[in-house]
């Protein structure tokens, strides 16, 4: 009965001949080399392993040492999966640094305890029947175990993995170690870039003595508005990363103007307006997507829908949507915060202004989304509020 279950799920297949094997390896190697998203590399790796050894399932697990967990991503659209780093046969293989090879998970005695809290328990939840199982750990360039390949159920007549399969999967594993290491590194580099960009944004703010979380809130509001307008997650994320730099040009504005307690003279305000052009010029020459986006935001966040903004006085949809979004995010936060020159406004008064300025200062459609998304926006405001504690800590 067990055998039937496996063979009816998927038809019986043959092992690859050498030519097919080469094709699979070259096809996947090319795809993997071009892929920069870690989760996608994981899934491609798993697919490659599955095709190479003609298994029904294949998963590439990565060790997350900070959490003592193994994690993987098995399909687009699904969340990552996580298990304790000692769970199941995969946990055994990575903690004992041993490749494991099992013909039938249900009769195996040697690894019974690991199977019971791993594959067999999963089977119970899913109704799947695990028979043949193979787990091969792989290492990073320092020789540290970084994860494991797991293959389940051989789709050929014999239903057993062979020594050859073990060799192939070991080969795939050594390649996985290298590729995943560089994908992890790319992730790290991107995280570092985001961090640097965020800090740059804070520099613009700290010069003007604005409280710490302003850039964080503007980033969150921008993201919420972008999503509410129907922008993709990727593009919204891009705007979220770039929007903290909207005032980076303030680094070049003299302290006497930037931190003047009272109202600016016309001349001082003219000077202040330059922060848009200065920011744009600082950022516009970069080829990096994030910095280009930031350049647009810096340039256009003080333009107004009715054409009475600055620096260029452009109007309506001539203003980039990123500028129209950050205008609302920025003013909402500026009004709700105390500045050297003004007290914080209460929420009713702020909402009143957005109603009045709908179609004047602000894009009416973005204002509508702002009101629709108000609960989420207020939630973010709460979450990133400037606490009194933080303020006093800053003073010390
Ligand atoms: P900010 O203080 O962060 O304000 C950002 C934007 O929020 C302002 O852009 C304005 O559109 C809106 N906003 C802020 N406070 C008020 C307010 O009390 N009433 C109204 N109706 N809108 C407000 P804006 O006006 O282009 O100013 C850009 C930046 O210039 C301000 O950033 C601030 O750094 C500086 N600034 C503007 N006015 C003054 C002022 O009277 N004194 C000082 N010291 N700085 C000013
Ligand atoms: C994770 O947390 O998603 C795994 C570890 C990593 O990406 O470095
Ligand atoms: C394992 O059994 O090796 C861990 C994966 C699972 O829970 O199925
Ligand atoms: C700020 O957002 O802190 C300043 C307002 C602006 O010039 O955009
Ligand atoms: Fe500004
Ligand atoms: Fe700002």
Find the CATH number of the domain harbouring 132: 3.30.450.40
CA distances from 256 to 262, 344, 359 (A): 11, 22, 34
Is 116 within the bounds of a domain?
yes
Is 195 within the bounds of a domain?
no
Atom of ligand 3 at shortest range from CA of 114 = 2
Q: 164 and 299 share a domain?
A: no
**What tokens does 368 get?**
């509508």
Q: 219 and 106 share a domain?
A: no
The pLDDT profile of the chain, 396 residues, written as one tens digit per residue, is 444 454 455 578 999 887 788 788 878 877 887 777 888 889 998 999 999 999 999 999 999 988 999 999 888 778 889 999 999 999 999 999 999 999 999 999 999 999 999 999 999 999 999 999 999 999 887 888 999 999 999 999 999 999 889 888 888 887 777 778 877 777 776 776 677 677 666 666 655 555 568 888 999 999 999 999 999 998 999 999 889 889 888 878 888 898 888 899 999 999 999 999 998 988 887 767 788 899 999 999 999 999 999 999 999 999 999 999 999 999 999 999 888 888 999 999 999 999 999 999 999 999 999 999 999 999 999 998 876 444 433 332
Q: 53 and 166 share a domain?
A: yes
Task: Give the catalytic positions in this structure.
Answer: 250
Q: 226 and 135 share a domain?
A: no
Q: Give 296 Cα–ligand 1 centroid separation in angstroms.
A: 20
CA distances from 111 to 88, 89, 105, 147 (A): 9, 8, 9, 19
- Ligand 4 pocket, 56 CB below 6 A? no
Q: 90 and 232 share a domain?
A: no
Residues contacting ligand 3 via CB (< 6 Å): 83, 87-90, 118-119, 122, 150
pLDDT at 204: 60
Q: Give 64 Cα–ligand 2 centroid separation in angstroms.
A: 6
Q: Whose CA is nearest to atom 2 of ligand 4?
A: 330
Q: Give 225 Cα–ligand 4 centroid separation in angstroms.
A: 18
Domain range for 316 = 207-395
- The position carrying tokens 């029947």 is 129
Q: 356 and 244 share a domain?
A: yes
CB environment 233-246: b (16+ within 10 A), e (fewer):
eeebbbbbbbbbbb
Q: 229 and 175 share a domain?
A: no
Is 315 within the bounds of a domain?
yes
Is 269 within the bounds of a domain?
yes
Q: 8 and 87 share a domain?
A: yes
Domain end, chosen from 136, 155, 185, is at: 185
Q: How far, in Å, CA of 277 to CA of 292, rounded?
A: 14
Q: 214 and 71 share a domain?
A: no
Find the CATH number of the domain harbouring 220: 1.10.3210.10
Atom of ligand 3 at shortest range from CA of 92 = 3
Is 219 within the bounds of a domain?
yes
Best residue among 247, 257, 302, 335 to mutate for probing ligand 4's pocket (most ligand atoms within 8 Å of CB) is 247
Q: 230 and 165 share a domain?
A: no
Which ligand is in closest contact with the Cα of 255? 1
Atom of ligand 1 at shortest range from CA of 342 = 18
Own/partner pairs, 177-181, CB within 8 angstroms, 24+ separation: 177/138, 177/139, 177/140, 177/141, 177/146, 177/147, 178/141, 179/32, 179/33, 179/41, 179/45, 180/38, 180/41, 180/42, 180/45, 180/60, 180/62, 180/146, 180/147, 181/140, 181/141, 181/146
- Ligand 4 pocket, 330 CB below 6 A? yes
Is 239 within the bounds of a domain?
yes
- Ligand 1 pocket, 334 CB below 6 A? yes
- Ligand 2 pocket, 81 CB below 6 A? no
Q: 175 and 40 share a domain?
A: yes
Is 190 within the bounds of a domain?
no
Helix (H, G, I), strand (E, B) or coil at 84: strand
Counted domains in the chain: 2
CA distances from 100 to 89, 109, 381 (A): 8, 13, 51
- Ligand 1 pocket, 339 CB below 6 A? yes
Q: Give 174 Cα–ligand 3 centroid separation in angstroms.
A: 21
Hey, which bits of 97-180 come out as E strands? Answer: 100-102, 133-139, 145-154
Q: What is the CA radius of gyration of the chain?
A: 28
- Ligand 2 pocket, 71 CB below 6 A? yes
CB 41 within 8 A of CB 184: no
Atom of ligand 1 at shortest range from CA of 262 = 42
Between vectors from CA 89 to CA 83 and to CA 90, what angle results, nearest 5°? 55
CB 366 within 8 A of CB 325: yes
Q: 160 and 214 share a domain?
A: no
Domain end, chosen from 117, 152, 185, is at: 185
Is 314 within the bounds of a domain?
yes
């Amino acid at each position: 009965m067990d055998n039937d279950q496996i063979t009816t799920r998927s038809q019986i297949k043959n092992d690859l001949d050498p030519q097919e094997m080469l094709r699979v390896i070259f096809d996947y190697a090319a795809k993997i080399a071009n892929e920069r998203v870690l989760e996608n590399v994981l899934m491609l790796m798993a697919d490659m392993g599955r095709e190479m050894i003609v298994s029904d399932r294949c998963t590439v697990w990565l060790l997350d040492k900070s959490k003592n967990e193994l994690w993987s991503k098995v399909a687009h659209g699904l969340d990552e999966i996580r298990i304790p780093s000692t769970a199941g046969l995969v946990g055994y293989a990575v903690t004992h640094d041993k490749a494991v090879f099992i013909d039938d998970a249900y009769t195996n005695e040697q690894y019974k305890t690991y199977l019971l809290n791993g594959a067999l328990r999963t089977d119970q939840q899913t109704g799947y029947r695990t028979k043949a199982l193979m787990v091969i750990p792989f290492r990073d360039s320092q020789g540290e175990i970084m994860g494991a390949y797991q293959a389940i159920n051989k789709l050929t007549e014999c239903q057993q993995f062979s020594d050859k399969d073990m060799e192939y999967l070991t080969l795939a594993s050594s390649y996985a170690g290298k590729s995943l290491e560089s994908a992890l590194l790319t992730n790290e580099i991107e995280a570092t870039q985001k961090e640097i960009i965020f800090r740059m944004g804070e520099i613009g703010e700290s010069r003007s003595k604005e409280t710490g979380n302003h850039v964080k809130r503007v980033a969150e509001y921008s993201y919420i508005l972008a999503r509410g307008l129907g922008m993709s997650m990727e593009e919204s994320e891009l705007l979220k990363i770039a929007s903290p730099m909207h005032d980076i040009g303030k680094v070049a504005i003299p302290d006497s103007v930037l931190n003047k307690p009272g109202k600016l003279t016309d001349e001082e305000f003219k000077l202040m307006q330059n922060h848009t052009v200065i920011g744009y010029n600082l950022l516009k020459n970069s080829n990096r997507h994030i910095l280009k986006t930031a350049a647009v935001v810096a340039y256009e966040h003080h333009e107004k829908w009715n054409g009475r903004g600055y620096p260029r006085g452009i109007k309506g949809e001539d203003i980039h949507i990123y500028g129209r979004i950050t205008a609302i995010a920025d003013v909402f936060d500026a009004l709700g915060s105390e500045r050297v020159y003004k007290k914080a406004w209460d929420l009713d008064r702020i909402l009143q202004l957005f109603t009045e300025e709908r179609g004047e200062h602000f894009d009416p459609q973005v204002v509508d989304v702002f009101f629709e998304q108000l609960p989420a926006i207020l939630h973010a405001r709460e979450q990133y509020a400037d606490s009194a504690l933080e303020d006093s800590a800053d003073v010390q």
